[in-house]
């Protein structure tokens, strides 16, 4: 079964998918930084997030297996996410679709790049947000897996 059939549909669908994935990465990063600032137990907070409607694939897969384990080796870099956000915003503007959240996330990725994090995995936005807030980077205990 072909999901995307007309010319350009696949590319546009990829932009929509990447918009959600990149934006969720920013939201997850801010939530984790906030939990760190509140002094919450990270594993208990994650159990709540993963067990409620706040659950999302970025948190369950990318964060649990990458940045929260201390692994920022790129799968998909902050630089690439920034480039995709630029394409997303350009396409949205051309289509007359306001995207204020995308614009804010774009600026957050711009800041992470300016701070030298562009080559890191985009889950490392969690580290960038914690660094900006001057709080310890969030890490789960060795061997932790999402329930």
pLDDT of res. 147: 76
**Helices vs strands, H then E, count in the chain:** 7, 0
Report how far Cα 61 is from the mean position of its chain's Cα atoms. Answer: 11
Clarify whether 14 is annotated catalytic: yes
pLDDT at 7 over 80: no
Q: From the candidates 14, 44, 66, 83, which is the catalytic residue? A: 14
| pLDDT at residue 2, as a whole number | 55
Q: Left (φ > 0), alpha (ψ -120 to 50) or beta: where does 9 sit? A: alpha
In this structure, how many other beta carbons lie within 10 angstroms of the beta carbon of residue 60? 16
Domain chopping of the chain, boundaries: 11-133
CATH for 11-133, options being 3.30.565.10, 1.10.3720.10, 1.10.1040.10, 3.30.750.24: 1.10.1040.10
- Per-residue model confidence (pLDDT) at position 146: 85
| pLDDT tens column, 68-84 | 999 999 999 999 999 99
Q: Given CA atoms 57, 97, 100, 104 in this order, what sign does their dihedral have?
A: positive
| Nearest CA-CA partner of 24 in 80, 143, 105, 91 | 105
pLDDT category of residue 1 using cuts at 50, 70 and 90: very low
pTM above the 0.75 mark?
yes
Overall average pLDDT of the 105-120 stretch? 98
What is 90-121 written as a DSSP string?
HHHHHTT---HHHHHHHHHHHHHHHTT-TTSB
Quote the DSSP letter at residue 40.
Answer: -
Please say whether the beta carbons of 25 and 56 come within 8 A.
no
Looking at per-residue pLDDT, the higher value among 142 and 128 belongs to 128
**Residues 22-63: pLDDT tens digits?**
999 999 999 999 999 999 999 999 999 999 999 999 999 999
**How far is the C-alpha of 86 from the C-alpha of 106, rounded, in Å?**
7
């Amino acid at each position: 079964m072909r999901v995307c059939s007309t010319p350009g549909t696949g590319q546009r669908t990829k932009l929509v998918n990447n918009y959600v994935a990149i934006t969720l990465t920013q939201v997850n990063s801010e939530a984790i930084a906030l939990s760190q600032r509140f002094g919450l137990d990270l594993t208990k907070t994650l159990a709540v997030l993963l067990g409620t409607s706040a659950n999302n694939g970025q948190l369950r897969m990318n964060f649990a297996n990458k940045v929260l384990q201390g692994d920022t080796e790129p799968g998909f870099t902050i630089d690439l996410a920034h480039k995709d956000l630029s394409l997303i915003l350009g396409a949205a503007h051309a289509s007359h679709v306001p995207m204020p959240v995308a614009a804010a996330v774009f600026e957050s990725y711009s800041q992470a790049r300016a701070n030298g994090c562009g080559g890191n995995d985009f889950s490392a936005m969690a580290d960038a947000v914690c660094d900006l807030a001057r709080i310890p980077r969030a890490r789960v205990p060795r061997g932790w897996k999402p329930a």
